[in-house]
């Protein structure tokens, strides 16, 4: 593997999560490293040329905040653009004050502002009032905010209403991710076809030109995707399957390049 190939990486730094969203791929078997191991993983990612890093999970804020800020201090010192993807439950003012200046973006997972839809998707606790409060809190903290939406059968027709809300909240960045089969009993409930996803996402993008809408289809999510698992394995998605490449806790990356 050539250095620089892993310019963008998603690091599922822990499987720990305080939500049980039915559409999520998280296996909920808690796995995470200690801080020393995570520093080794991060330093190896730097050796491999990472330039953009998304800390996800689970929910990364389930880890001690000093664990996260120490990693962010390292990424900041190397000029790495870093995002924390979270369900927002642990976003409190004290946490945001510790993250400010270290993280480039908070990416908040939003299925819908419709409470009935959120209930169907298994995230009823992240209701309209909750989402409004978290968006306001991040905006008031002065940390750039992105919204991340897994597009599913229950919420695809509410994307327009979500867009109206995001405009009202002065959100600029909105990612649409097509639901992928999680290998559970909910696939028929949540799956949307490629054409449905592309047409609806494109229509929303045209309707809200002030929103920077990015979209990733199921195929894009399942191919050429670099993921680091909570136990340090670097995996590349190809043909819908993850291939284990190397454990970044134990390998000498310089010999691996």
- What's the mean per-residue pLDDT of the chain? 90
Does 233 reside within a domain?
yes
What mean pLDDT comes out for the span 39-59?
93
pTM value? 0.92
Sheet of 241-247: strands edge to edge? 212-216, 173-178, 145-151, 105-109, 81-86, 52-56, 8-12, 225-228, 233-238, 241-247
The Cβ-side half-sphere exposure at 238, using a 13 Å CA radius, reads 5
**Total domains, the chain:** 1
Asked whether residue 1 is assigned to any structural domain, the reply reads: no
pLDDT one-digit tens code per residue, 168-223: 999 999 999 999 865 567 888 999 999 999 999 999 999 999 999 999 998 887 66
> Is 150 contained in some domain?
yes
Q: Let me know if residue 134 belongs to a domain.
A: yes
Burial environment of residue 193 by CB neighbours within 10 A (0 to 12, 13 to 18, 19 or more):
exposed
State which residues form the domain around 181.
8-256
Structure confidence at residue 126 as a pLDDT band (50, 70, 90)? very high
User: 128: pLDDT confidence band, cut at 50, 70 and 90?
Assistant: very high
Tell me whether residue 3 is in a domain. no
Which CATH number is 84's domain given? 3.20.20.70
- Lowest-confidence pick of 80-84, 138-142, 168-172, 252-256: 252-256
Q: Is residue 118 part of a domain?
A: yes
User: What's the confidence (pLDDT) of residue 179?
Assistant: 92
Least-confidence region, from 41-50, 145-154, 208-217, 218-227 = 218-227
Using 50, 70 and 90 to split pLDDT, how confident is the model at 24?
confident
Q: Does residue 2 fall inside a structural domain?
A: no
Compute φ and ψ for 80, nearest 5 degrees.
-85, 130
Report whether pLDDT(30) > 80: no
Structure token pair of residue 186: 């909910």
């Amino acid at each position: 593997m050539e250095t620089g190939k892993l310019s963008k990486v998603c690091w599922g730094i822990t499987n720990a999560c305080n939500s049980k969203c039915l559409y999520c791929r998280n296996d909920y078997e808690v796995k995470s490293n200690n801080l020393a191991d995570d520093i080794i993983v991060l330093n190896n990612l730097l050796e491999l040329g990472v330039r953009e890093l998304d800390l996800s999970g689970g929910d990364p804020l389930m880890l001690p905040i000093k664990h996260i800020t120490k990693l962010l201090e390292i990424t900041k010192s190397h000029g790495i653009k870093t995002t924390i993807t979270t369900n927002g439950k642990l976003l409190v003012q004290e946490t945001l004050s510790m993250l400010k200046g270290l993280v480039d973006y908070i990416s908040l997972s939003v299925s819908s502002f419709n409470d009935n839809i959120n209930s169907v998707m298994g995230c009823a606790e992240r209701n309209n009032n909750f989402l409004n409060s978290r968006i306001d809190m991040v905006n008031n903290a002065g940390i750039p905010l992105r919204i991340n939406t897994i597009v599913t059968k229950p919420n695809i027709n509410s994307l327009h209403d979500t867009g109206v809300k995001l405009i009202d909240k002065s959100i600029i960045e909105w990612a649409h991710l097509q639901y992928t089969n999680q290998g559970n009993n909910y696939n028929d409930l949540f799956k949307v076809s490629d054409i449905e996803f592309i047409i609806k996402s494109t229509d929303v993008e045209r309707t809200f030109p002030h929103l920077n809408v990015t979209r990733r289809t199921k195929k894009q999510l399942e191919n050429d995707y670099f993921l680091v698992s909570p136990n340090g394995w670097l995996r590349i998605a190809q043909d819908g399957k993850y291939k284990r490449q190397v454990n970044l806790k134990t390998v000498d990356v310089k010999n691996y390049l």
